[in-house]
Structure 1
């Protein structure tokens, strides 16, 4: 397979990319994972066991509390129809491989799940093929031992739109993120239980957290509504 333009230009751009990466890390505003419970029960109706798994976005970084984060927003949406028993298994910096290792020791079963991964796979230069293979392993784990009947898989974020990233670093990471997301869509399509969710959001500063890298509570609310709709509609 021929290399894309960004892959060909990585070597000549390496000094610039390295300098920009160091500057981003040095100047980054490190936001903590939000406070609040990571498991609980809420709502009335049929029992629904929900698992939310992934990286810092699944953990809710950018929100002050879990109530404002993905978990809290999804649970509120689903509680209109179910008694939701939810569990959050997410950590800042986790890749798909990290999440698989974490979930392998988890006691199920769960009825539904949401996964949010990809940014750390991008920054660690995981190839599209390896990413697709790992996502397939994650789907096998969720739909097999954990017995999940419906999975919403969040798209790999459009990293070229992250306010914290300067160009050409944003362009290079954005191209790789798009490649991984195409691989993710193909992997997810092999599982009838899974749905790929991409959000078409405007360029609104209110949608980014103060670090310019993570979602804001407003984005989590939009994301949660779309994810809950997919889960409820099946």
Structure 2
């Protein structure tokens, strides 16, 4: 499957960690496991944003858009969809387009979970698909190679089953600065997030229908959700603005 989508083997896109780094984090495994359990038990569980998940808004050139992914795509950290990623994106695109939109997202989904679900929906055609996955992949201790392979499989499905003409792959957020994660867990997960993000960015450069969306946004308490892990309305607005700019550049 990889050969169908890339000119290079998958490992060519992945930056290997140094031996010292591997040994360092390897020695910390018992501490990391204990901290991971503590985080799961102590971080509050926030609800997904309320509101509709499909519709039509705006006027102008018609465009069909799907936003798909995990809890961040579902709007966890925002009270309603209008303040979440989907709603913020629609408010920016409705000025120029008649947007036929749909949101498919669920808290806890990995990239693989999303792909398996999308494989069950009726075949259709989208002009633009914006994905938001990856954090649950790295927190589940999957290797960067497996995570990148899952991203590639997802893109393949979006092309072949959902007819996606432009695929915006949201990068990994700055996990190494998340206030809810203690050290050294924050540094370990953050390191893997940065490596996966670089790999996705390198791979997407070779795909004419893919754009990597870098998510290097502020993570202060005024921007993030109350759990210190998910985006708040401020980050969703910045995220949507960046995505809207990429979409306009191609579809205008």
Query: TM-score band (shorter)?
Result: over 0.9
Tell me what 1:175 maps to: 191
TM-superposition CA deviations, 1:6-59 (whole Å, max 9, x none): 432233212221221122122111101111001111111121110001111111
CA shift at 1:190, angstroms?
2.8
Query: Residues 135 and 187 of structure 1 are in contact (CA less than 8 Å); yes or no, is this contact kept in structure 2?
Result: no
Is the aligned partner of 1:75 residue 2:84? Answer: no
Structure 1, gaps ≥5 residues long: none
CA shift at 1:226, angstroms?
0.7
Tell me what 2:79 maps to: 64
The TM-score normalised by the length of structure 2 is 0.88
Tell me what 1:225 maps to: 241
Is the aligned partner of 1:54 residue 2:69? Answer: yes
CA shift at 1:102, angstroms?
1.2
Runs of 4+ in 1 over 6 A off after TM superposition: none
Is the aligned partner of 1:15 residue 2:15? Answer: no
- Between the aligned partners of 1:22 and 1:104, the Cα distance in structure 2 is 32
Give the match's secondary structure for 1:207: coil
Deviates more, 1:19-28 or 1:171-180: 19-28
Query: Residues 162 and 170 of structure 1 are in contact (CA less than 8 Å); yes or no, is this contact kept in structure 2?
Result: yes
Is the aligned partner of 1:189 residue 2:205? Answer: yes
CA shift at 1:203, angstroms?
4.7
- Between the aligned partners of 2:113 and 2:221, the Cα distance in structure 1 is 31
Query: Residues 135 and 193 of structure 2 are in contact (CA less than 8 Å); yes or no, is this contact kept in structure 1?
Result: yes
RMSD: 1.5
Is the aligned partner of 1:86 residue 2:104? Answer: no
Tell me what 1:32 maps to: 47
Query: Residues 37 and 66 of structure 1 are in contact (CA less than 8 Å); yes or no, is this contact kept in structure 2?
Result: yes
Tell me what 1:115 maps to: 131
TM-superposition CA deviations, 1:156-213 (whole Å, max 9, x none): 1221111100100000000111111122112322321111011332353211100000
CA shift at 1:145, angstroms?
2.4
The TM-score normalised by the length of structure 1 is 0.95
Give the match's secondary structure for 2:198: helix
- Between the aligned partners of 2:194 and 2:19, the Cα distance in structure 1 is 12
CA shift at 1:77, angstroms?
0.8
Give the match's secondary structure for 2:56: strand
Alignment match of 1:42 (pick from 57, 67, 72): 57
CA shift at 1:147, angstroms?
1.3
Give the match's secondary structure for 1:67: helix
Structure 2, gaps ≥5 residues long: 1-15
- Between the aligned partners of 1:84 and 1:176, the Cα distance in structure 2 is 36
- Between the aligned partners of 1:207 and 1:221, the Cα distance in structure 2 is 10
Query: Residues 34 and 63 of structure 1 are in contact (CA less than 8 Å); yes or no, is this contact kept in structure 2?
Result: yes
Deviates more, 1:12-21 or 1:24-33: 12-21
